[in-house]
Structure 1
Amino acid sequence: MQNNNGESKLEKTAREGAFGAPEIKKGEKNRFLGEFEERILGYLVEEQLKENAVYPEIKELLEKDEAKKLIIRGDMDKDQIEKYLEWARELGVRFTRKNSPDFRGNVALAVAGNDAVKYQVAKIEDRQEKLQNKGVSDNIIKNAGTTLCKDCWEQLMKKAPEEKVNYNKPSIFDKLTGTGCTGCSK
């Protein structure tokens, strides 16, 4: 008995034994850390994951009912993924790190469902571009992780409140010690 390719059942078994069973959409799965694209709610590329700031959009995606797993490329530094792992734990979303020499492209972190998802964002917009479009000053944007003065903090909360996770509000101690603001250089 022969299949559509003109090979016998024995030849097919031998080929699959040597090379593995044919895989559906293998190229697509290699781009999205082993997942089908229709299962991806959103993702970050390597450059985004290496920034000093985190992307609050990932937490928003993890909060969705369809979000079932957080997948992280295995070669990413623990410091770069720590906050995302914390969010996944907090929200009860399982996470995994995957490594494969077959992975192509620069997807470094993805939020995925178990099946095709209704809500698909794809690549999360670059943080710097998003904040510039909202009118946040470049000094504030590039100094994520630092303390802002009252004026800069209020500007950030007015234009991009989701970004508060990436900055520190000035404390009384900061005011007493004269810790300067990196957002406006005060």
Structure 2
Amino acid sequence: MKKNDESKLEKTAREGAFGPTEIKKGEKNRFLGEYQERVIAYLSESQLKEDALYPEIKNALQSAEANKLIIRGDIDKKNISDYIKWAREEGVRFNRKNSPEFRGNVALAVAGKDAVKQQLGQIPERQEKLQKKGISDNIIKNAGSLLCSDCWKELMEKAPEEKINYKKAGIFDKLTGTGCIGCQKK
């Protein structure tokens, strides 16, 4: 017997025992409980565990369609605190979700209330994106480090959105001999 052939009583009994039939359940389990058409952008678990932030998420949170930031519940707070801060600054609500039914590697998603017009999907891996822009591997791998004026200028010309992940060396740094990670091993 097909589902369409079941009587109203059988349907009510089945839904009472197992819950209502859910549309696109597999899709929702891949996107932290959201339909894919509502997801503006998302990051994988490995992207969240990097030392650097993804400025694309900040841009997605600034979108007029952004309604919520969803974070998988098993992600360490130190990896998401800046993203939560961005959501607060933009007035976008956020929540952490746990479910044994979640599948795939989506660990953070920016979603709209309904289907969104602009879907960025998974944000490209940072290292790959910056290598294509010609940023040195020393700079890419050492997010959070100090950069001398020359390396800072290179970063600002090729990937200005990445300034959130680095610090520009000042006079005090030069006086104390703190080296630029970008100039090392060139």
Look up the SS of the partner of 2:80 in the other structure.
helix
Is 2:163 the counterpart of 1:164? yes
What is the rounded CA distance, in whole Å, between the counterparts of 1:15 and 1:104 in structure 2? 25
- Shift in Å at residue 4 of structure 1? 5.9
Q: Which residue of 1 aligns with 2:107?
A: 108
- Shift in Å at residue 165 of structure 1? 0.1
Look up the SS of the partner of 2:156 in the other structure.
helix
In the TM superposition, 1:1-186 aligns within 5 A as: 5-185=4-184
Q: TM-score, normalised by structure 2?
A: 0.96
- Shift in Å at residue 12 of structure 1? 1.3
User: Tell me, which stretches of 5 or more residues in structure 2 are unaligned?
Assistant: none
Look up the SS of the partner of 1:72 in the other structure.
strand
What is the rounded CA distance, in whole Å, between the counterparts of 1:62 and 1:158 in structure 2? 24
Look up the SS of the partner of 1:41 in the other structure.
strand
- Shift in Å at residue 65 of structure 1? 0.2
What is the rounded CA distance, in whole Å, between the counterparts of 1:6 and 1:66 in structure 2? 40
Over the matched positions of the two proteins, sequence identity in percent amounts to: 72
Give the ranges of 4+ consecutive aligned residues of structure 1 lying more than 4 Å apart after TM superposition: none
What is the rounded CA distance, in whole Å, between the counterparts of 2:184 and 2:6 in structure 1? 73
1:153 to 1:4, Cα distance in 2 relative to 1, 3 A: closer
TM-align CA RMSD: 1.3
- Shift in Å at residue 5 of structure 1? 3.1
What is the rounded CA distance, in whole Å, between the counterparts of 1:45 and 1:29 in structure 2? 16
What is the rounded CA distance, in whole Å, between the counterparts of 1:143 and 1:82 in structure 2? 20
Counterpart AA for 2:14:
R
The total of aligned residue pairs comes to: 184
What is the rounded CA distance, in whole Å, between the counterparts of 1:139 and 1:173 in structure 2? 22
Look up the SS of the partner of 1:33 in the other structure.
coil
Counterpart AA for 2:135:
V
- Shift in Å at residue 8 of structure 1? 2.2
Deviations 1:3-61 (A, max 9, x none): 96332222211111111110000000000000000000010011111100000000011
Deviations 1:111-141 (A, max 9, x none): 0000000001101011001000000000000
Counterpart AA for 1:183:
G
What is the rounded CA distance, in whole Å, between the counterparts of 1:4 and 1:99 in structure 2? 30
Look up the SS of the partner of 2:115 in the other structure.
coil
Look up the SS of the partner of 2:70 in the other structure.
strand
What is the rounded CA distance, in whole Å, between the counterparts of 1:113 and 1:31 in structure 2? 16
Counterpart AA for 2:133:
K
What is the rounded CA distance, in whole Å, between the counterparts of 1:116 and 1:102 in structure 2? 23
